[in-house]
C-alpha cells in the first residue's frame, strides 16, 4: 500500500466507525490511529460465567457489549467494542468498586507479574469478529502509603485492576512490560489497525 493510498484510506475509510465505549483512553487511542469515528457507548451487564478464564473473559464481554448495541447497523457501519481485564495467579481483577477494593487489588498485584488481556469485537451488518492481545506487567512491591496516595489522588475506579498504566502508579511502580503498552491502556492499537485493514480488504 502506497503512502497516498494509506492516507486516502485513513481519511476516507469506507466504513463509518462507531466506538461503543465510554473509556476516554480508548477514544484517545482509536482517534490517534487516524480513523474518524463517532461515539456511541453501549451499556451491558458485565457479569460473566464463572467457568471463563483469562482471555475468555474479555472476549465474552466485548461481544456482550457489541450485542448490546440496539440500533440497526447500516451497510457501511462498523461497531467497535472492547473489554480489558487484569489476570494474576489464576484470578481476575476487574474495576474496584471502592477504596477498600482498590487497596486489596494493588496489594495483591504488588511485587508480581500480572497479565492484561484486552479483547476487541468488530461488528458490521453482515460480519462479526473478535480478537485479543496480551501484555505482561511486572510491578514492584507497593507500600500501603503509596497505594493510599494513588487511590486518593487518582480515583482509579474505572480501570481494570485498579490502576492506569499511564499515570502515577505506572511511573513509580512498573519494572517492565512485555507486550503492548497500549493494550494495557485498554486498546491494542497495532492489532486494531491491522484488523481494520483486513476487515476492509475482505469487503472489497
498504566: which residue's cell? Answer: 165
Q: Give the per-residue pLDDT at 9.
A: 62
pLDDT at res. 59: 98
Domain count of the fold of the chain: 1
β-bridge pairing 37-39 and 16-19: parallel
Average pLDDT (139-164) is 97
In the numeric block, which cell numbers belong to residue 80? 467497535
DSSP for 75-143 reads TTEEEEEEEEEEEETTEEE---SSHHHHHHHHHHHTTSEEEEEEEEEEE-SS-EEEEEEEEEEEEPPPP
Taking residues 73-91, report their average pLDDT: 96
Does the structure show a pLDDT above 60 at 204? no
Of 83, 133, 144, 175, which residue is the catalytic one? 83
Per residue in 3-43, pLDDT tens?
Answer: 446 666 665 678 899 999 999 999 999 999 888 899 999 98
CATH of the domain at 65: 3.90.950.10
Say what the pTM is: 0.92
Expressed as residue numbers, the domain containing 125 is 3-202
Per the structure block, which three cell numbers stand in for 154?
A: 487518582
Residues in the chain: 204
For residue 45, count CB atoms less than 10 angstroms from its CB and return exposed for 0-12, middle for 13-18, buried for 19 or more.
exposed
pLDDT surpasses 60 at 1: no
Tally of CB atoms within 10 A around 79 = 24
Give the model's pLDDT for residue 3: 47
Residue 12: the pLDDT is 67
Our answer to whether residue 144 is catalytic in this structure is: no
Residue with cell 497479565: 115
Euclidean distance between the first and the last CA atom of the chain, given in angstroms as a whole number: 15
All residues at 6 or more sequence positions from 81 whose CB lies less than 8 Å from its CB, including other chains: 20, 21, 42, 62, 63, 65, 66, 69, 120, 121, 123
Q: What is the pLDDT of residue 112?
A: 98
Share of the chain above pLDDT 70, in %: 93
Task: Retrieve residue 132's grid coordinates.
Answer: 485479543
Q: Is 107 exposed, middle or buried (0-12, 13-18, 19+ CB in 10 A)?
A: middle
Q: What is the pLDDT of residue 14?
A: 81
Look up residue 14 and give its DSSP letter.
S
pLDDT in tens, 68-79: 998 889 999 999
pLDDT tens digits for range 47-68 = 999 999 999 999 999 999 999 9
Amino acid at each position: 500500500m502506497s503512502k497516498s493510498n494509506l492516507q486516502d484510506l485513513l481519511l476516507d475509510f469506507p466504513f463509518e466507525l462507531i466506538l461503543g465505549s465510554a473509556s476516554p483512553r480508548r477514544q484517545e487511542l482509536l482517534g490517534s490511529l487516524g480513523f474518524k469515528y463517532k461515539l456511541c457507548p453501549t451499556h451491558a451487564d458485565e457479569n460473566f460465567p464463572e467457568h471463563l478464564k483469562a482471555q475468555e473473559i474479555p472476549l465474552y464481554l466485548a461481544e456482550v457489549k457489541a450485542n448490546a448495541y440496539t440500533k440497526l447497523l447500516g451497510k457501511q457501519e462498523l461497531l467497535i467494542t472492547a473489554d480489558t481485564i487484569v489476570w494474576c495467579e489464576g484470578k481476575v481483577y476487574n474495576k474496584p468498586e471502592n477504596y477498600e477494593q482498590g487497596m486489596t487489588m494493588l496489594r495483591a498485584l504488588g511485587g508480581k507479574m500480572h497479565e492484561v488481556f484486552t479483547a476487541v469485537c468488530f461488528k458490521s451488518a453482515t460480519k462479526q469478529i473478535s480478537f485479543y492481545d496480551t501484555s505482561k506487567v511486572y510491578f514492584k512491591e507497593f507500600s500501603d502509603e503509596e497505594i493510599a496516595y494513588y487511590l486518593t489522588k487518582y480515583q482509579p475506579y474505572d480501570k481494570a485492576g485498579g490502576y492506569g498504566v499511564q499515570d502515577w502508579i505506572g511511573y513509580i511502580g512498573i519494572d517492565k512490560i512485555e507486550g503492548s503498552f497500549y493494550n494495557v491502556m485498554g486498546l491494542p492499537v497495532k492489532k486494531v489497525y491491522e484488523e481494520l485493514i483486513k476487515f476492509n480488504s475482505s469487503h472489497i
